[in-house]
Amino acid sequence: MPSGFRHLNAVLLAASALTLSAGLLARYLNAGALAQDLWLIGIAPNWVALAVTIVRSLIRRQAGIDVLALLSISFALLSGEVLVAAVIALMLASGRALEDFAQARAQKEMTALLSHAPKQANRFEGGQWCQVDLATVRSGDRLLVRHGEVVPVDGTLSEPADLDESTLTGESVTRHRAPAEAVSSGVLNAGAAFEMVAAASAEHSTFAGIVRMVSAAQAERSPSVRLADRYAFAFAGVAVVLAGASWLLTGDPARCLAVLVVATPCPLILAVPVAMVSGMSRCARRGVLIKGGGALERLAQADTLFFDKTGTLTGGYARLVDIECSSRYEPQEVLRLAASLAQASNHVMAEAVTKAARERGAALLLPSAVIESPGAGVQGHVGGHAVSIGTLPHVLGSAVAPPWSEGFIKRVRYAGASAVFVGVDGELVGALQLADRIRLETPRALRLLRQIGVRRQGMLTGDRPDVAESVGAMLGVTDVYADQSPADKLTAIREARAAGMVIMVGDGVNDAPALAAADIGVAMGARGAAASSEAADVVLLVDRLDRLVDAVRIAQRTRYIAVQSVVVGMSLSIAAMIAAALGYLPPLAGALLQEIIDVLVILNALRVLQAGPHKATRTLPPQDVERFKAEHAELEPIMNRIRTVADQLPRIGRNQAKTTLSDLTRLLNLVLVPHERRDDTEIYPDVARLLEGEDPLAAMSGMHREIFRVTNLLDRIVTDLPEQGPDSAALQELQRLLYGLDAVLRLHCAQEDELFHVLGKEA
């Protein structure tokens, strides 16, 4: 509601309360005529405001449900019950003020998003930094963000930055971001000034999408709100009939007035919109932007989930594995050209390429004339060359693939990896192999969604069937659709909608048709906010799939509380109407009772803002989570060493095998075993206190027992090896133990990573 109307309602409430109190004092002093005049002074502006509201509602073709209140005041005045009319006016003004408070409280988080909108940017042009209008910024521009400024557009960091991302994520912790990481518009620079490369114009950046979606969310009336209006209008008609009948049958106008006073369907017209806005605000606090009350309702009823793979189930962990190129180019040069262009893209693979190049010390150039083709790739000019990166068809165009690319494509296919092809001046000159990892939160998110009713889950991906089936089997997804074009995804969504309410989660770019076709389109991560503000109904501003679980839970709880408020509130109103019609509830008491019902209904609807029963109350400190991650990163070379030694054993001599194995067991005893013992004795007890149950980490601790057993057995076998090294039987046993240890360690670290991720501050 506009602030002007809120101020008007506050003034009306103050006038009503003041004149009612003054009139009661005048009556106590036996000044009856003065009391009547004071009450009329308070009634008049409320009556006029009510009449104007009814007319405005009818002009908008909305139900004029305030007509009952207008009838109540008018009938009371005609009956000579001026005090009753004054009390009704006060109750009406206080109800409006209470509704304003509830709406403002419910919209707090959503409205806060709009207060950080950037207006200008610092762009490097003509050899100096110039402050320019935000609308003139384009992809590839070099920008400077000073301390305390808001990031103007989406882009890629050229140097480290400390960012306050609470506007988007709801988390107040300052995040340190490394060079080549993507940065979203709307976040605050909490550290030193930094440079960045724009990846989108202001119009197509994250914050512009947020502004559009918040505006749409605040304007949209959900289906339940519209339905409640229609029910309320019908209810008002019934109330008028009942009031008239009680007067005709008893001849007592007071009963008619009492029925009209308590008949206002406030539980319907207040509970549903307050609950819906509260639910959307609660989601915004968790980093989930809901486009409107209708989307929130559909989210609560969803039973089918479809999702893209790249950037949804995976993403954020892609790393460069290999570079293949033609004889005329060096791998480092291919990577440098590709990364220079990738700076201007927000795609997860582009971010991985840029990050890999910076880690290898490449000096990146600024791209120009950048054009991004969703789902295909990016093209532009870098250092005087026309460069393109992306899929093979996008880069090749009408040209023929060179012979060196055939072997690369086969290796990528066997490994189930991803590839970014690089073209320079119309020729395919190189290809980058990227390994994309499943997001840490993905398995847990899918499990929790199944638990809360989203039982059918399908993956729609453009990947080959073998890669898609492998990922699907890993996550327990039974419906796997591979080799899917945007049109194929659209068809699958439309077919699924015939059987239930469908959620589609995608990266918000090439999945836009499927997002629009689904009952609830969800854009994954801040990258999707700008590209999918029209197509998606929901944007996960935090790049984590488990926030969708939060959104579904909040939506289900919102719908439950809205229905509960309506049922309880309307039951009380109907009971009061019957009591009034039978003469047991006088008009003055009825007005007070109706106000109590209104307050109870609104307070109950505001319960949506509170944390539900699934809210985590205890978490690990962020610094502990980061420390655990760093320790696991230190173990990665050791695990790679175990696998390498196991692979090499049959191919090296017996003497060398003994030396290699001795070095490995020494490393295990010096680093791995102490690490696992420290976890078991120091970390696990603290973590267990955060979880329910007597010994919640028993299975995880059992993995430690197996690691200790295998390392001890390896140490004893290697110690007992003869001088000439292991024979074939011992070699076979050592290989078996090493492969087993590798598998156990990787599984155990993955389980710990997920556990610490869940218990982290962002969980």
What pLDDT does 617 receive? 47
Q: Which long-range contacts (CB under 8 A, 24 or more apart) does 670-677 make?
A: 671/634, 671/635, 671/638, 672/635, 672/638, 672/707, 672/711, 672/745, 673/707, 673/708, 673/711, 675/631, 675/635, 676/704, 676/707, 676/708, 677/704, 677/708
- Give the span between the Cα atoms of 504 and 524, in whole angstroms: 10
Backbone angles phi, psi at 307, to 5 degrees: -150, 150
- Give the span between the Cα atoms of 761 and 77, in whole angstroms: 60
User: Which residue is listed with tokens 């389980």?
Assistant: 751
What pLDDT does 444 receive? 80
| Beta strands across the sheet bearing 538-540 | 288-290, 538-540, 520-524, 502-506, 304-308, 456-460, 479-481
pLDDT score of 222 more than 80: no
- Residue 304: strand pairing partners: 456, 502
- Give the span between the Cα atoms of 621 and 624, in whole angstroms: 5
What pLDDT does 748 receive? 87
| Residue-wise pLDDT tens digits, 504-527 | 988 655 677 788 788 888 887 655
Average pLDDT score over residue span 228-236: 68
Eight-class DSSP state of 172: -
H-only helix segments in 668-727? 673-678, 684-688, 698-719
State the DSSP string of 451-511: HTT--EEEEE-SS-HHHHHHHHHHHT--EEE-S--HHHHHHHHHHHHTTS-EEEEE-SSTT
- Residue 524: strand pairing partners: 540
| Residue-wise pLDDT tens digits, 74-90 | 888 888 888 888 888 88
What pLDDT does 684 receive? 82
Backbone angles phi, psi at 510, to 5 degrees: -75, -10
What pLDDT does 14 receive? 87
Give SS3 for 314: strand
Distances in Å between the Cα of 62 and the Cα atoms of 228, 229, 233 are 11, 8, 9
| Residue-wise pLDDT tens digits, 102-118 | 666 655 655 555 556 67
What pLDDT does 428 receive? 92
Percent of the chain at pLDDT exceeding 90 = 10
Q: Which residue has the higher pLDDT, 62 or 540?
A: 540
Average pLDDT score over residue span 406-433: 84
Residues 6+ apart with CB under 8 A from 589: none
Query: Strands, DSSP E only, in 21-97?
Result: none
- Give the span between the Cα atoms of 335 and 353, in whole angstroms: 8
| Residue-wise pLDDT tens digits, 543-552 | 778 889 999 9
Is 308 assigned a catalytic role? Answer: yes
| Residue-wise pLDDT tens digits, 694-726 | 778 888 888 888 888 888 888 888 888 888 888
pLDDT score of 423 more than 80: yes
- Give the span between the Cα atoms of 86 and 623, in whole angstroms: 60
pLDDT score of 633 more than 70: yes
| Residue-wise pLDDT tens digits, 265-312 | 666 667 778 888 888 888 888 878 887 778 888 899 999 999 887 667
pTM: 0.68
pLDDT band at 218 (very low <50, low <70, confident <90, very high): low
Query: Strands, DSSP E only, in 108-231?
Result: 120-125, 128-133, 142-145, 155-157, 161-164, 174-177, 182-183, 188-189, 194-198
pLDDT score of 421 more than 90: yes
pLDDT score of 180 more than 80: no
State the DSSP string of 250-262: H--HHHHHHHHHH
Average pLDDT score over residue span 173-194: 82
Q: Which of 308, 463, 543, 598 is catalytic?
A: 308
Eight-class DSSP state of 150: B
| Residue-wise pLDDT tens digits, 318-354 | 778 788 888 888 889 999 999 999 988 877 788 888 8
What amino acid is encoded at 278 in this protein? Answer: S
Lowest-pLDDT range of 459-468, 541-550, 616-625, 739-748 = 616-625
Average pLDDT score over residue span 629-634: 78
- Give the span between the Cα atoms of 157 and 527, in whole angstroms: 15
User: Which residue is listed with tokens 């050899």?
Assistant: 127
Q: Are 558 and 608 in contact (CB under 8 A)?
A: yes
Distances in Å between the Cα of 416 and the Cα atoms of 404, 437, 466, 480 are 19, 11, 8, 15
pLDDT score of 396 more than 50: yes
pLDDT score of 170 more than 70: no
502-506 and 520-524 beta bridge pairing: parallel
Q: How many CA atoms lie within 13 A of 549 on its CB side?
A: 21
- Give the span between the Cα atoms of 748 and 743, in whole angstroms: 8
| Residue-wise pLDDT tens digits, 671-683 | 888 988 888 888 8
Please state, as a whole number, how many other Cβ atoms lie within 10 Å of the Cβ of residue 113.
19
Q: Taking the CA atoms of 66, 68, 71 and 72 in sequence, report the sign of the dihedral they define.
A: negative
Give SS3 for 522: strand
pLDDT, averaged across the chain: 81
pLDDT score of 657 more than 50: yes
Q: Which long-range contacts (CB under 8 A, 24 or more apart) does 30-39 make?
A: 36/82, 39/82, 39/83, 39/85, 39/86
Please state, as a whole number, how many other Cβ atoms lie within 10 Å of the Cβ of residue 763.
16
- Give the span between the Cα atoms of 177 and 257, in whole angstroms: 66
pLDDT band at 216 (very low <50, low <70, confident <90, very high): low
Phi-psi region of 258 (alpha: psi -120 to 50; beta: other; left: phi over 0): alpha
Lowest-pLDDT range of 96-100, 298-302, 377-381 = 96-100
Q: Kindly calculate the radius of gyration of the chain based on its CA atoms and give it in whole angstroms.
A: 33
Q: Are 537 and 295 in contact (CB under 8 A)?
A: yes
User: Which residue is listed with tokens 């019934």?
Assistant: 238
Q: Which residue has the higher pLDDT, 424 or 680?
A: 424
Residues 6+ apart with CB under 8 A from 370: 139, 140, 341, 344, 345, 378, 379, 380
What pLDDT does 123 receive? 92
- Give the span between the Cα atoms of 495 and 482, in whole angstroms: 16
Q: Which residue has the higher pLDDT, 661 or 375?
A: 661
Lowest-pLDDT range of 61-75, 131-145, 224-238, 510-524 = 224-238
